[in-house]
Amino acid sequence: MGSYLREFWAAFPDVNTVVLESFDVDDMTADELVLIGTHTGPYLGPSGKVIPPTGRPLHLRCCYVCAIENGLIVSLRLYFDQLELLAQLGVPLV
């Protein structure tokens, strides 16, 4: 997950998060959020092909679930609609 997040931040270096909801239960947390940024770097798409910078804005709803041990994140699962992201970047879906 760490390498994916590094690549994502390289593709959207101005990305900001807006947390819509946050839930904590025991050693788990789940957050619903919106990622807002601009596509200014190469992005490795789900097909394995690099999408060159488009300069287009991103406004992507997503969710992540974290497991926490001793105050540290030991697992992070990020969920978002990949087709929505590609559509916002103007990538043909067919």
Q: What is the CATH number of the domain that holds 46?
A: 3.10.450.50
The reported pLDDT for the residue numbered 81 is: 94
> Considering the entire predicted model, what is its pTM?
0.83
- pLDDT one-digit tens code per residue, 16-26: 999 999 999 99
Strand partners, 84: none
Specify if 94 maps to a domain: no
Task: Decide if pLDDT at 6 tops 90.
Answer: no
The reported pLDDT for the residue numbered 26 is: 92
Q: How confident is the model at residue 1 (pLDDT cuts 50, 70, 90)?
A: low
Distance CA 37, CA 53 (A): 12
Mean pLDDT of 2-13: 86
Specify if 56 maps to a domain: yes
**Number of domain units in the chain:** 1
Type of residue at 8 = F
Specify if 45 maps to a domain: yes
Specify if 8 maps to a domain: yes
- pLDDT one-digit tens code per residue, 38-74: 999 999 988 888 999 999 999 999 999 999 999 899 9
The reported pLDDT for the residue numbered 93 is: 74
The parent domain of residue 58 ranges over 2-89
Distance CA 8, CA 85 (A): 12
Specify if 52 maps to a domain: yes
Handedness of CA 40, 57, 85, 34 (dihedral sign): positive
Type of residue at 61 = R
Count of C-beta atoms within a 10 Å radius of residue 91: 16
